[in-house]
Amino acid sequence: MRFIKPLLIAIFLKPFDLLALPLVFIALAGAKWDAFPSLDSNGQGLTIRGDLPDWAWFLQTPDERLPGGTYEPTVASVLEKYGPLVCSLYWLGLRNRMHGLAAYFGVPVASPWSPIPGFYDNGVLWWLRYPIGRFQLKAGYRTYGIKGQWLAVPCLTITKA
């Protein structure tokens, strides 16, 4: 059962991904934003961060405030071109759909899995990263660092290698 459970949870969560984009539109209307002075290359600027309303916990990425993931080149590009609102829509509605809901099914763990493709098993949880040409099958419990702790979240997906 321990091999089937995370796959069943991940499959159960997939249909909710279709609801993410319209729900993010609604949730962003009630988002709370704050701005902090920061220095850009011209010595001026603002850093804008925000959070969705409390009722939208299932949409929010637990480890990132909005606009989210600006360390990733694609997300940073969307932020620069379109601003924090559209970037947040991209981050929560297209890139990281329903991460709060997936984290609800997460299990605390002491450390992350190895980033090297392969099969990992700690006797309770497991994780598989299997290359398929230019893609990877990822299944089991993916680990995330959230607020200084590690959380293993059920996962079943195919991504670019």
Share of the chain above pLDDT 90, in %: 63
Residue 53 CB coordination number (10 Å): 15
Asked if 93 contacts 25 with a C-beta cutoff of 8 angstroms, the reply is: yes
Show the CA angle centred on residue 42, arms to residues 40 and 46, nearest 5°. 40
Tokens of 14: 């997939």
**DSSP letter (8 states) at residue 93:** I
Q: In the structure, what pLDDT confidence band is assigned to residue 45 with cuts at 50, 70 and 90?
A: low
| Predicted pLDDT of residue 148 | 85
| Predicted pLDDT of residue 73 | 92
Q: In the chain, where are the structural domains located?
A: 8-101, 106-160
Tell me the pTM: 0.78
Asked if 36 contacts 46 with a C-beta cutoff of 8 angstroms, the reply is: yes
Question: What is d(CA 122, CA 118) in angstroms, rounded to the nearest whole number?
Answer: 13
Residue 45 CB coordination number (10 Å): 13
Q: Is the peptide bond before 53 cis (omega within 30 degrees of 0)?
A: no
